[in-house]
Homo-oligomer: A and B are copies of this chain.
Amino acid sequence: MTDMPSEDEINARHAEKMKKIKAARDKILATKTVEKGLLIVHTGKGKGKSTAAFGMIFRSLGYGFPVAVVQFVKGSWETGERLALERFGDLVTINRLGEGFTWETQDRARDMAAARQAWETAKSLIRQGDHHIVLLDELNIVLRYDYLPLDEVITFLREEKPHDLHVIITGRNAPDQLIEIADLVTEMEMIKHPFRSGVKAQKGIEF
């Protein structure tokens, strides 16, 4: 039995180890001093890209910060988010300018015009700099279809985003040039999806 550490010994070792981790973490944290508005990208085939962006939007609303949302593709989020956002009144600016998914509209010319209109609104909101976060929801989808010139979008974000404004861009297939200029990029990967077992989209979960 002399080989088996007692619960007290395990706890003491744990405390010692955690003290070291804490010291190392504090040392690293002390070097993080820069504050700036981030360019954030949520991409990947998994779920949660727009949902995590809305999580940040609600967190900012909790603090009373104004936020703006430009929706580049209709249908990725709808009623639930909108109803929840409405609770925060004037703090929220929502622009639902995109068309439905391409296979719903089946109209390339209309989709392109809608993308252009959404992008012009996005540019004006970003230039204003009146918000804590501007969310460009599903912009990646529109870029993927070449409905907007990628160079124009990259140049604008790099040169005209105000220093303290956070911009979040969502959608699968984020272009490499966007990832390159972004500060924070997260890829949502699908490991398991209930759709495969015949489960349909459900209120509060999928929409």
Give chain A's interface residues, CB within 8 Å of chain B.
7, 10-11, 14-15, 18-19, 21-22, 25, 29, 31-36, 38, 40-44, 46-48, 50-56, 58-65, 77, 79-85, 87-88, 102-109, 132-133, 166, 179, 182-195, 197-205, 207
Give bound CA distance, A165 to B103, whole Å.
33
* A102–chain B nearest beta-carbon distance, Å: 5
Minimum CB–CB distance for A91 against chain B, Å? 11
Residues of chain B lying within 8 A (CB to CB) of residue A194:
36, 38, 183-184
Name the contact of A199 in the complex, choosing from B34, B65, B107 (C-beta under 8 A).
Answer: B34
A105 to B19, CA, bound (A): 9
How would you classify the secondary structure of chain A's contact residues: helix, strand, loop or mixed? mixed
Q: How far is the CA of A79 from the CA of B58 in the complex (A)?
A: 11
| CA–CA, A47 and B59, complex, Å | 14
Nearest residue (CB) in B for A42 is B48
**Beyond A18-B106, A63-B83, A184-B194, is A44–B204 a contact (Cβ under 8 Å)?**
no
Nearest B residue to A51 by beta-carbon distance?
B55
Question: Are the C-beta atoms of B198 and A187 separated by less than 8 Å?
Answer: no
Q: Are B199 and A191 within 8 A (Cβ)?
A: no
Let me know if B34 and A58 touch, CB within 8 A: no
- In angstroms, Cα B62 to Cα A82, docked, is 7
Partner of A14, one of B47, B108, B179, B189: B108
Q: Is the CB of B84 within 8 A of A44?
A: no
Across the interface, A106 reaches (CB within 8 A) one of B7, B22, B192, B205, namely B22
Docked pose: A42 CA to B186 CA in angstroms: 13
A81 — nearest CB in chain B belongs to which residue? B59
